[in-house]
Structure 1
Amino acid sequence: MTHPDDTREHGIEFGGLISDLEEESYPLSHETLLSRYGDRELGLINDQVTLREVLSPENEQQYEDTESVRQAILNMVGDEAVGRERYSDRGGNATDDDPTESESF
């Protein structure tokens, strides 16, 4: 079971969706997933989107478990889930890791 305070992953705030999906019966068709949860909102860094907006409506996928739904969401959310591009909280400068930057000695 997911801890209620631990619902953000890779820039996506899942809220109660994951815990609801953990209680779901599987396998679950894509159509059924969207009919039950399509209006549920996912929080991105600066936006809210519905599950239906993230997952393609014409998908024929069948989900075998909560993890397969979670992975589909992570795969389909684009850069809008990422905060500042090329930002790292690990110290140093983002350009330090840029292979296109040349060093001068």
Structure 2
Amino acid sequence: MTTDQNDDSREQGVELGPLADELEDEEYPIDLETLLERYGDYELGLGDDTTTLQTVLESQDGVTYESADDVRQSVIGMVSDEAIGRKNYSDRGGSTEAEEDTEESM
């Protein structure tokens, strides 16, 4: 499975691609084992890299997801720094706390 460049499936640096729609159509609750059997090979975009749902969630044990949002939040919480892009950078305007500390010390 490949990642899709659909902005609607990107959240906090993680591109779910076609998996986003699959999760929405799934019946919940669903346990981790079943989730990974069905969707473990789906690729997730993490900045300039990709990984599979299996790789991201396999370290969790005995988890049951109540909704697609539960799965998304779990993925976001488990991905490495690769998903966030440039550290201490925000395209939302203003400055980050790290930038403010640097400006104050000058």
Q: TM-score, normalised by structure 1?
A: 0.81
- Call closer, same or farther: CA 1:27–1:97 in 2, change over 3 Å: same
Q: How many residues align?
A: 100
Per-residue deviation, 1:16: 1.3
| Corresponding residue SS for 2:51 | strand
- Answer with 1 or 2: which has the greater Rg: 1
SS in 2 for 1:33: helix
**Normalised TM-score (structure 2):** 0.81
Checking the alignment, whether the CA contact within 8 Å between 1:88 and 1:94 is kept in structure 2 is no
Residue number among 48, 64, 80 corresponding to 1:62 in the alignment: 64
- Paired letter, 2:61: N
Corresponding residue for 1:30?
A: 32
Give unpaired runs (5+ residues) of structure 1: none
CA distance in 2, matches of 1:93, 1:68: 28
Asked if 1:51 corresponds to 2:49, the answer is no
In the TM superposition, what is the alpha-carbon distance from 1:95 to its structure 2 partner? 5.0
Which residue number corresponds to residue 3 of structure 2? Answer: none
Give identity over the alignment, percent: 49
- Unaligned segments of structure 2, at least 5 residues: 1-5
Residue 13 in 1 paired to residue 18 in 2?
A: no
Equivalent pair of 2:88/2:96 in contact (CA under 8 Å):
no
Q: CA deviation at 1:92?
A: 5.4
